[in-house]
């Protein structure tokens, strides 16, 4: 029996897009401020999970909600269990969208919405593949579960809870990467670098520095507020900085208080070179001026060892594996206040031969 898979998908294209758009309209960013016993990672991820399971139930599949953290859609019989792992939570939207990130639109045959590629779109595609197999009454020798998580982008509470309460699949794959199949994944570790101590002693005084939404995202926006007796000089230098770097920004001066806002380009933390890190660019600019105490240390480290150093070479952590490639580092979150000092979240993706080296950092 020869099957034209593309034709089968085209037959169901309208329905597939309708179901996908139902999911894409749900703001499923984890919201810890709205966590309840009934919504363990917030109401948005729960709503998206329930919506996906409702689609499976509508189509006649066996479905199960596992504590509003995860669930599955099941088909087939057999002793072996295959898992298809997807997720419906999404990272924060950030800024710079030309369209509403939760109002999906199709422009030039591309779907624009948060989650269209990570990971609502691919998970829905996998579900429809299973649906086609069922509709065509194709024989399968294994039980298949499309397993849907709600916390992949943050703490993985979904999979921890699911695997504690449900059968662990004998094998599986995740439609959350490049096609056809990636048979390995780098390890991941986030280190928090803290700066504590006095903030005085320089000509300029840093009042606040903020950039980034998540450790696994390249910060698109960064803001710094500081006191400076040389505001005119800084304004002139900032104009030149914008001309010579791939960022946009604004500067405002009120007396001796200066506020700088910088806009770069967001990207996934797995490939930080694809983005423009507004946090490191802003720190690099400020490092040209005289700050004191831990503010100076904060800016110097970022400018000297983090900025454009996606392989962590200047931290003596660079490593390359012949199969998995290079270690990558993403500086995802930057914060600084005079009372709490500075904090920097560094998210590392390291290849398979790296754990013995990484253990030395702990």
pLDDT for the residue 42: 98
Q: Crossing angle, helix 13-24 and helix 120-135, to 10 degrees? A: 140
Instruction: Tell me how far apart the alpha carbons of residues 61 and 134 are, in angstroms, rounded to a whole number.
Output: 9
Regions of the chain short of the pLDDT cut 70: 353-362
Spatial strand order in the sheet of 62-66:
62-66, 70-75, 143-149, 81-87, 171-173
Any idea where the domains of the chain sit in the sequence? 5-183, 188-361
Round to whole Å and give the CA distance between 260 and 211. 12
DSSP states of 251-310 as a string? EEEETTEEEEEEE-B-EETTSGGGSB-HHHHHHHHHTTS-B-HHHHHHHHHIIIIITT-T
CATH of 5-183, one of 3.40.630.10, 3.40.50.300, 3.30.365.10, 3.40.718.10: 3.40.630.10
Tokens of 175: 């439609």
Report d(CA 136, CA 3) in Å as an integer: 9
Q: What percentage of the chain's residues is helix, strand, coil (to nearest 5)? A: 30, 30, 40
Q: For the chain, what's the residue count?
A: 362
- For 158-196, how does the pLDDT look when each residue is reduced to its tens digit (9 = 90+)? 999 999 999 999 999 999 988 888 888 899 999 999 999
- In the prediction, which pLDDT does 179 show? 80
Q: In this predicted structure, what is the pLDDT of residue 191?
A: 95
pTM (predicted TM-score): 0.77
Q: What span, in angstroms and rounded, lies between the C-alpha atoms of 344 and 333?
A: 6
Q: What residues form DSSP beta bridges with 105?
A: 112
Active site residues: 89, 152
Q: Residue 146: beta bridge partners? A: 73, 84
341-350 and 81-87 strand pairing: unpaired
Residue that has been written with the tokens 């490939």 in this structure: 271
Rounded to the nearest 5°, which phi and psi values hold at 338?
A: -60, -30
pLDDT at 22: 98
Distance CA 254, CA 329 (A): 37
Strand partners, 235: none
Q: So what's the pLDDT on residue 357?
A: 54
CATH code 3.40.50.720 for 188-361: no
For 170, phi then psi, to 5°, come to -70, -30
């Amino acid at each position: 029996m020869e099957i034209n898979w593309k034709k089968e998908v085209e037959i169901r294209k309208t329905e597939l897009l309708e179901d996908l758009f139902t999911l894409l309209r749900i703001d499923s960013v984890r919201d810890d401020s709205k966590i309840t016993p009934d919504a363990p990672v917030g109401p948005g991820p729960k709503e998206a999970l329930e919506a996906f399971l409702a689609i499976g139930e509508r189509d006649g599949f066996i479905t199960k909600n596992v504590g509003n953290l995860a669930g599955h859609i099941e088909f087939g019989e057999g002793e072996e269990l295959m898992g298809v792992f997807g997720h419906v939570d999404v990272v924060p939207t950030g800024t710079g969208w030309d369209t509403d990130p939760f109002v999906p639109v199709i422009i030039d045959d591309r779907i624009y919405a948060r989650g269209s590629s990570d990971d609502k779109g691919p998970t829905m595609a996998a579900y429809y593949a299973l649906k086609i197999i069922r509709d065509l009454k194709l024989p399968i020798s294994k039980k298949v579960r499309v397993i849907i998580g709600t916390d992949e982008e943050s703490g993985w509470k979904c999979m921890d809870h699911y695997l504690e309460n449900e059968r662990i699949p004998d094998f599986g794959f995740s439609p959350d990467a490049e096609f056809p199949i990636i048979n390995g994944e780098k390890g991941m570790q986030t280190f928090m670098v803290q700066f504590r101590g006095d903030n005085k002693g320089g000509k300029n005084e840093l009042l606040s520095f903020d950039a980034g939404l998540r450790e696994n995202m390249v910060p698109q926006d960064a803001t710094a507020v500081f006191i400076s007796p040389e505001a005119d000089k800084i304004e002139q230098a900032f104009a030149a900085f914008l001309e010579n770097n791939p960022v946009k920004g604004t500067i405002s001066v009120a007396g001796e208080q200066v506020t700088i806002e910088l806009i770069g380009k967001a990207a996934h933390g797995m490939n930080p070179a694809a983005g423009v890190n507004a946090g490191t660019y802003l720190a690099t600019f400020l490092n040209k001026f005289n700050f004191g105490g831990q503010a100076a240390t904060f800016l110097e480290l970022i400018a000297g060892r983090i900025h454009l150093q996606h392989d962590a070479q200047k931290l003596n952590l660079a490593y390359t594996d012949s199969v998995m490639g290079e270690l990558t580092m993403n500086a995802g979150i930057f914060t600084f206040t005079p009372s709490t000092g500075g904090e920097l979240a560094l998210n590392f993706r390291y290849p398979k031969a790296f754990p013995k080296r990484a253990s030395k950092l702990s």
